[in-house]
Amino acid sequence: MKYTQLGRTGLKVSRLVLGTMNFGPQTDEADSHAIMDAALDAGINFFDTANVYGWGENKGRTESIIGNWFAQGGGRRDKVVLATKVYGNMGPDGGEVWPNHDKLSAVNIRRAVDASLKRLRTDYIDLYQFHHIDRNTPFEEIWQAIDVLVQQGKILYAGSSNFPGYKIAQANEIAARRGGTIGLVSEQCLYNLAERRAEMEVIPAAQDYGLGVIPWSPLHGGLLGGVIKKEVQGGRRASGRAAEALGDPAVRAQVQAYEDLLDKHGVEPGEAALAWLLTRPGVTGPIVGPRTAEQLASALRAVELELPRELLSGLDEIFPGPGPSPEAFAW
Protein backbone atom coordinates (compact mmCIF):
# COMPACT_ATOMS: atom_id res chain seq x y z
CA MET A 1 0.00 0.00 0.00
CA LYS A 2 1.10 3.56 -0.69
CA TYR A 3 0.56 6.39 1.79
CA THR A 4 0.33 10.15 1.69
CA GLN A 5 -0.30 13.06 4.04
CA LEU A 6 -3.91 14.09 4.61
CA GLY A 7 -3.82 17.60 3.19
CA ARG A 8 -1.54 19.92 5.15
CA THR A 9 -1.59 17.71 8.25
CA GLY A 10 1.10 15.36 9.50
CA LEU A 11 -1.38 12.46 9.38
CA LYS A 12 -0.38 9.62 7.04
CA VAL A 13 -3.23 7.81 5.30
CA SER A 14 -3.49 5.10 2.64
CA ARG A 15 -4.13 6.04 -1.00
CA LEU A 16 -7.34 4.02 -0.83
CA VAL A 17 -10.08 4.82 1.68
CA LEU A 18 -12.33 2.00 2.86
CA GLY A 19 -15.92 3.16 2.55
CA THR A 20 -18.37 1.37 4.81
CA MET A 21 -21.77 2.52 3.53
CA ASN A 22 -22.65 -1.02 2.42
CA PHE A 23 -21.94 -2.49 5.86
CA GLY A 24 -25.34 -3.40 7.27
CA PRO A 25 -27.66 -2.61 4.33
CA GLN A 26 -25.92 -4.91 1.81
CA THR A 27 -23.12 -6.70 3.67
CA ASP A 28 -23.82 -8.51 6.94
CA GLU A 29 -21.71 -7.97 10.04
CA ALA A 30 -19.54 -11.07 9.67
CA ASP A 31 -18.65 -10.26 6.06
CA SER A 32 -18.12 -6.61 6.95
CA HIS A 33 -15.64 -7.63 9.64
CA ALA A 34 -13.85 -9.91 7.17
CA ILE A 35 -13.56 -7.06 4.64
CA MET A 36 -12.14 -4.71 7.30
CA ASP A 37 -9.62 -7.36 8.35
CA ALA A 38 -8.58 -7.86 4.72
CA ALA A 39 -8.29 -4.10 4.16
CA LEU A 40 -6.11 -3.69 7.24
CA ASP A 41 -3.96 -6.65 6.21
CA ALA A 42 -3.47 -4.97 2.82
CA GLY A 43 -2.32 -1.75 4.48
CA ILE A 44 -5.49 0.34 4.16
CA ASN A 45 -5.55 2.42 7.32
CA PHE A 46 -8.18 5.05 6.38
CA PHE A 47 -11.79 4.01 7.11
CA ASP A 48 -14.76 6.26 6.32
CA THR A 49 -18.30 6.09 7.67
CA ALA A 50 -21.19 8.37 8.74
CA ASN A 51 -23.64 8.42 11.61
CA VAL A 52 -26.62 7.95 9.26
CA TYR A 53 -25.22 4.88 7.47
CA GLY A 54 -27.50 1.91 7.91
CA TRP A 55 -30.29 4.25 6.84
CA GLY A 56 -33.93 4.48 7.86
CA GLU A 57 -34.77 2.66 11.05
CA ASN A 58 -31.26 1.15 11.00
CA LYS A 59 -29.31 4.40 10.86
CA GLY A 60 -26.26 4.12 13.08
CA ARG A 61 -25.97 0.41 12.33
CA THR A 62 -22.82 0.81 10.25
CA GLU A 63 -20.98 2.62 13.03
CA SER A 64 -22.04 -0.17 15.42
CA ILE A 65 -20.62 -2.82 13.07
CA ILE A 66 -17.30 -0.96 13.02
CA GLY A 67 -17.39 -0.56 16.80
CA ASN A 68 -17.91 -4.29 17.26
CA TRP A 69 -14.93 -4.90 14.99
CA PHE A 70 -12.75 -2.54 17.04
CA ALA A 71 -13.85 -4.35 20.20
CA GLN A 72 -12.21 -7.56 18.94
CA GLY A 73 -8.86 -5.97 19.80
CA GLY A 74 -5.65 -6.92 18.06
CA GLY A 75 -4.64 -3.26 17.67
CA ARG A 76 -7.49 -2.62 15.24
CA ARG A 77 -8.42 0.81 16.56
CA ASP A 78 -4.83 2.03 16.90
CA LYS A 79 -4.05 1.08 13.29
CA VAL A 80 -7.07 2.84 11.80
CA VAL A 81 -7.53 6.50 10.89
CA LEU A 82 -11.25 6.72 11.58
CA ALA A 83 -13.49 9.21 9.80
CA THR A 84 -17.19 9.69 10.38
CA LYS A 85 -19.74 12.40 9.56
CA VAL A 86 -22.42 14.57 11.15
CA TYR A 87 -25.42 16.34 9.58
CA GLY A 88 -28.23 13.88 8.87
CA ASN A 89 -31.23 13.56 11.17
CA MET A 90 -30.65 10.89 13.80
CA GLY A 91 -33.99 11.26 15.55
CA PRO A 92 -36.38 8.26 15.78
CA ASP A 93 -37.19 7.11 12.25
CA GLY A 94 -40.87 7.17 11.46
CA GLY A 95 -41.63 8.99 14.66
CA GLU A 96 -42.01 12.63 15.51
CA VAL A 97 -39.25 14.77 14.03
CA TRP A 98 -37.88 16.73 16.99
CA PRO A 99 -35.84 19.91 16.48
CA ASN A 100 -32.04 19.94 16.82
CA HIS A 101 -31.42 16.30 15.87
CA ASP A 102 -29.69 17.20 12.62
CA LYS A 103 -27.43 19.68 10.87
CA LEU A 104 -24.49 21.55 12.43
CA SER A 105 -25.75 23.48 15.44
CA ALA A 106 -23.47 23.30 18.47
CA VAL A 107 -26.09 21.29 20.34
CA ASN A 108 -26.42 18.69 17.59
CA ILE A 109 -22.66 18.39 17.05
CA ARG A 110 -22.24 17.71 20.78
CA ARG A 111 -25.05 15.16 20.79
CA ALA A 112 -23.97 13.50 17.55
CA VAL A 113 -20.31 13.03 18.41
CA ASP A 114 -21.13 11.41 21.75
CA ALA A 115 -23.58 9.03 20.05
CA SER A 116 -21.03 8.13 17.35
CA LEU A 117 -18.33 7.47 19.94
CA LYS A 118 -20.68 5.13 21.77
CA ARG A 119 -21.60 3.19 18.63
CA LEU A 120 -17.99 3.08 17.41
CA ARG A 121 -16.81 1.89 20.85
CA THR A 122 -13.89 4.30 20.87
CA ASP A 123 -12.99 7.42 22.81
CA TYR A 124 -11.91 9.55 19.84
CA ILE A 125 -12.55 10.15 16.15
CA ASP A 126 -9.60 11.04 13.95
CA LEU A 127 -11.53 12.98 11.28
CA TYR A 128 -14.97 14.43 12.02
CA GLN A 129 -16.62 15.54 8.77
CA PHE A 130 -19.53 17.87 8.08
CA HIS A 131 -21.67 15.79 5.70
CA HIS A 132 -23.24 18.85 4.04
CA ILE A 133 -23.28 22.63 4.39
CA ASP A 134 -25.68 24.05 6.97
CA ARG A 135 -27.03 27.32 5.64
CA ASN A 136 -28.54 28.28 9.00
CA THR A 137 -25.57 27.80 11.33
CA PRO A 138 -22.66 30.28 11.22
CA PHE A 139 -19.16 28.88 11.06
CA GLU A 140 -18.30 30.78 14.25
CA GLU A 141 -20.71 28.49 16.11
CA ILE A 142 -19.53 25.36 14.30
CA TRP A 143 -15.87 26.07 15.06
CA GLN A 144 -16.62 26.86 18.69
CA ALA A 145 -18.23 23.43 19.03
CA ILE A 146 -15.30 21.76 17.24
CA ASP A 147 -12.76 23.55 19.43
CA VAL A 148 -14.44 22.12 22.52
CA LEU A 149 -14.39 18.59 21.08
CA VAL A 150 -10.70 18.89 20.20
CA GLN A 151 -9.91 20.16 23.70
CA GLN A 152 -11.86 17.23 25.17
CA GLY A 153 -9.89 14.80 23.00
CA LYS A 154 -13.02 13.51 21.27
CA ILE A 155 -11.89 14.48 17.77
CA LEU A 156 -8.52 15.32 16.22
CA TYR A 157 -9.33 16.94 12.86
CA ALA A 158 -12.37 18.36 11.05
CA GLY A 159 -13.25 17.91 7.40
CA SER A 160 -16.04 18.75 5.00
CA SER A 161 -18.10 16.79 2.51
CA ASN A 162 -20.11 18.08 -0.45
CA PHE A 163 -18.96 21.66 0.16
CA PRO A 164 -18.74 24.15 -2.72
CA GLY A 165 -15.47 25.97 -3.14
CA TYR A 166 -16.66 29.22 -1.60
CA LYS A 167 -17.79 27.42 1.58
CA ILE A 168 -14.38 25.77 1.93
CA ALA A 169 -12.82 29.24 1.71
CA GLN A 170 -15.34 30.76 4.11
CA ALA A 171 -14.93 27.99 6.67
CA ASN A 172 -11.16 28.24 6.74
CA GLU A 173 -11.03 32.04 6.69
CA ILE A 174 -13.32 32.17 9.74
CA ALA A 175 -11.27 29.45 11.44
CA ALA A 176 -8.10 31.49 10.83
CA ARG A 177 -9.69 34.66 12.23
CA ARG A 178 -10.86 32.85 15.36
CA GLY A 179 -7.54 31.14 15.97
CA GLY A 180 -7.17 28.02 18.07
CA THR A 181 -8.35 25.64 15.32
CA ILE A 182 -6.65 24.21 12.27
CA GLY A 183 -9.83 24.52 10.21
CA LEU A 184 -10.89 22.04 7.53
CA VAL A 185 -8.20 19.55 6.54
CA SER A 186 -10.14 17.51 3.95
CA GLU A 187 -13.04 17.68 1.51
CA GLN A 188 -14.97 14.58 0.49
CA CYS A 189 -16.64 15.25 -2.86
CA LEU A 190 -18.24 13.55 -5.83
CA TYR A 191 -15.42 13.20 -8.34
CA ASN A 192 -14.67 10.66 -11.06
CA LEU A 193 -13.99 10.44 -14.79
CA ALA A 194 -17.65 10.95 -15.68
CA GLU A 195 -18.26 13.71 -13.11
CA ARG A 196 -15.43 16.24 -13.14
CA ARG A 197 -17.19 19.47 -12.10
CA ALA A 198 -15.21 19.45 -8.84
CA GLU A 199 -12.20 20.50 -10.95
CA MET A 200 -13.78 23.90 -11.55
CA GLU A 201 -13.65 25.30 -8.00
CA VAL A 202 -13.87 22.65 -5.25
CA ILE A 203 -10.49 21.03 -5.87
CA PRO A 204 -8.64 24.32 -6.50
CA ALA A 205 -10.09 25.69 -3.24
CA ALA A 206 -9.06 22.54 -1.41
CA GLN A 207 -5.53 22.79 -2.79
CA ASP A 208 -5.21 26.49 -1.92
CA TYR A 209 -6.32 25.86 1.67
CA GLY A 210 -4.35 22.64 2.12
CA LEU A 211 -7.25 20.20 2.22
CA GLY A 212 -6.87 16.62 1.09
CA VAL A 213 -9.47 15.63 -1.52
CA ILE A 214 -11.33 12.37 -0.89
CA PRO A 215 -13.47 11.44 -3.93
CA TRP A 216 -16.64 9.47 -3.33
CA SER A 217 -18.40 7.34 -5.97
CA PRO A 218 -15.18 6.82 -7.96
CA LEU A 219 -17.00 4.44 -10.33
CA HIS A 220 -19.99 6.80 -10.66
CA GLY A 221 -22.53 4.34 -9.35
CA GLY A 222 -20.98 1.47 -11.33
CA LEU A 223 -21.06 3.28 -14.68
CA LEU A 224 -17.26 3.15 -14.92
CA GLY A 225 -16.97 -0.43 -13.71
CA GLY A 226 -17.45 -2.20 -17.04
CA VAL A 227 -21.26 -2.29 -17.11
CA ILE A 228 -21.63 -2.85 -20.85
CA LYS A 229 -18.96 -5.54 -20.84
CA LYS A 230 -20.76 -7.32 -17.99
CA GLU A 231 -24.05 -7.17 -19.90
CA VAL A 232 -22.48 -8.78 -22.96
CA GLN A 233 -20.42 -11.41 -21.17
CA GLY A 234 -22.69 -12.49 -18.34
CA GLY A 235 -26.10 -11.05 -18.98
CA ARG A 236 -25.73 -8.93 -15.84
CA ARG A 237 -27.66 -5.75 -16.45
CA ALA A 238 -26.81 -2.41 -14.93
CA SER A 239 -28.99 -1.13 -12.12
CA GLY A 240 -29.62 2.11 -10.27
CA ARG A 241 -27.79 5.23 -11.41
CA ALA A 242 -25.76 3.34 -14.02
CA ALA A 243 -28.87 1.89 -15.69
CA GLU A 244 -30.55 5.29 -15.75
CA ALA A 245 -27.48 6.92 -17.30
CA LEU A 246 -27.12 4.21 -19.97
CA GLY A 247 -30.65 5.00 -21.12
CA ASP A 248 -29.16 8.08 -22.77
CA PRO A 249 -27.67 7.00 -26.15
CA ALA A 250 -24.91 9.62 -25.89
CA VAL A 251 -23.83 8.38 -22.46
CA ARG A 252 -23.93 4.76 -23.62
CA ALA A 253 -21.70 5.60 -26.60
CA GLN A 254 -19.29 7.41 -24.27
CA VAL A 255 -19.11 4.46 -21.87
CA GLN A 256 -18.66 2.05 -24.78
CA ALA A 257 -15.73 4.13 -26.06
CA TYR A 258 -14.26 4.06 -22.54
CA GLU A 259 -14.53 0.29 -22.27
CA ASP A 260 -13.15 -0.20 -25.81
CA LEU A 261 -10.12 1.99 -24.98
CA LEU A 262 -9.36 0.05 -21.81
CA ASP A 263 -9.86 -3.27 -23.57
CA LYS A 264 -7.27 -2.16 -26.13
CA HIS A 265 -4.81 -1.50 -23.28
CA GLY A 266 -5.74 -4.68 -21.38
CA VAL A 267 -6.93 -2.79 -18.30
CA GLU A 268 -10.06 -3.49 -16.24
CA PRO A 269 -12.46 -0.50 -16.26
CA GLY A 270 -13.02 -0.27 -12.50
CA GLU A 271 -9.31 -0.44 -11.76
CA ALA A 272 -8.55 2.18 -14.40
CA ALA A 273 -11.14 4.59 -12.95
CA LEU A 274 -9.52 4.34 -9.51
CA ALA A 275 -5.99 4.58 -10.91
CA TRP A 276 -6.97 7.71 -12.86
CA LEU A 277 -8.13 9.41 -9.65
CA LEU A 278 -4.79 8.59 -8.03
CA THR A 279 -3.07 10.63 -10.76
CA ARG A 280 -5.20 13.73 -10.14
CA PRO A 281 -3.72 16.79 -8.38
CA GLY A 282 -4.86 17.21 -4.80
CA VAL A 283 -6.42 13.77 -4.44
CA THR A 284 -5.56 11.96 -1.21
CA GLY A 285 -7.36 8.76 -2.14
CA PRO A 286 -10.75 7.64 -3.48
CA ILE A 287 -13.32 5.92 -1.29
CA VAL A 288 -13.96 2.32 -2.28
CA GLY A 289 -17.04 0.64 -0.88
CA PRO A 290 -16.62 -3.09 -1.46
CA ARG A 291 -19.54 -5.40 -0.80
CA THR A 292 -17.30 -8.45 -1.18
CA ALA A 293 -13.66 -9.46 -0.68
CA GLU A 294 -13.30 -9.80 -4.47
CA GLN A 295 -14.25 -6.15 -4.99
CA LEU A 296 -11.68 -5.12 -2.39
CA ALA A 297 -8.97 -7.13 -4.19
CA SER A 298 -9.79 -5.36 -7.47
CA ALA A 299 -9.52 -1.95 -5.79
CA LEU A 300 -6.14 -2.85 -4.31
CA ARG A 301 -4.75 -3.65 -7.76
CA ALA A 302 -5.53 -0.10 -8.84
CA VAL A 303 -2.96 1.34 -6.42
CA GLU A 304 -0.13 -0.37 -8.31
CA LEU A 305 -1.56 0.31 -11.76
CA GLU A 306 0.46 2.73 -13.88
CA LEU A 307 -1.62 4.26 -16.67
CA PRO A 308 0.46 5.09 -19.78
CA ARG A 309 0.34 8.63 -21.15
CA GLU A 310 -1.48 7.48 -24.28
CA LEU A 311 -4.25 5.94 -22.17
CA LEU A 312 -4.55 9.04 -19.95
CA SER A 313 -4.87 11.20 -23.07
CA GLY A 314 -7.56 8.89 -24.44
CA LEU A 315 -9.52 9.09 -21.17
CA ASP A 316 -9.39 12.89 -21.31
CA GLU A 317 -10.76 12.80 -24.85
CA ILE A 318 -13.70 10.62 -23.83
CA PHE A 319 -14.37 12.42 -20.54
CA PRO A 320 -12.91 15.91 -21.07
CA GLY A 321 -14.27 17.59 -17.95
CA PRO A 322 -15.23 21.27 -17.75
CA GLY A 323 -11.77 22.68 -17.03
CA PRO A 324 -10.95 25.20 -14.31
CA SER A 325 -13.00 28.30 -13.57
CA PRO A 326 -13.51 30.94 -14.78
CA GLU A 327 -12.39 29.57 -18.16
CA ALA A 328 -14.99 26.80 -17.89
CA PHE A 329 -17.76 29.36 -18.22
CA ALA A 330 -16.05 32.59 -19.28
CA TRP A 331 -12.61 33.52 -20.67
**Over 80: is that where the pLDDT of 135 sits?**
yes
Residue 231: the pLDDT is 86
Q: Which CATH architecture has domain 3-225+269-313?
A: Alpha-Beta Barrel (3.20)
Residue closest to 58 by CA, chosen among 26, 98, 35: 26
Q: How confident is the model at residue 234 (pLDDT cuts 50, 70, 90)?
A: confident
End-to-end CA distance of the chain: 41
What secondary structure does DSSP assign to 142-172, as a single string? Answer: HHHHHHHHHHHTSEEEEEEES--HHHHHHHH
Q: Are 55 and 27 in contact (CB under 8 A)?
A: no
Task: Look up the pTM and report it.
Answer: 0.96
Statement: residue 17 has pLDDT above 70: yes
User: Known catalytic residue: 53?
Assistant: yes
pLDDT higher than 90, residue 91: no
| Predicted local confidence at residue 136, as pLDDT | 97
244 pLDDT band (50/70/90 cuts)? confident
25, with CB counted inside 10 A (0-12, 13-18, 19+), is middle
C-alpha 15, offset from chain centre:
12
Q: pLDDT tens for residues 44-56?
A: 999 999 999 999 9
Taking all residues of the chain, what is their mean pLDDT, rounded to a whole number? Answer: 95
List of E strands, 36-100 = 46-48, 81-86
- Which residues, listed in sequence order, are joined to residue 4 by a DSSP beta bridge? 13
Residue 95 has what pLDDT?
60
- Calculate mean pLDDT across residues 58-71: 98
pLDDT score for 295: 92
* DSSP codes of every residue in 288-329: E--SSHHHHHHHHHHHTPPPPHHHHHHHHHHS----STTTTT
Check residue 96 and give its pLDDT.
Answer: 66
Which of the residues 53, 87, 191, 209 is marked catalytic? Answer: 53
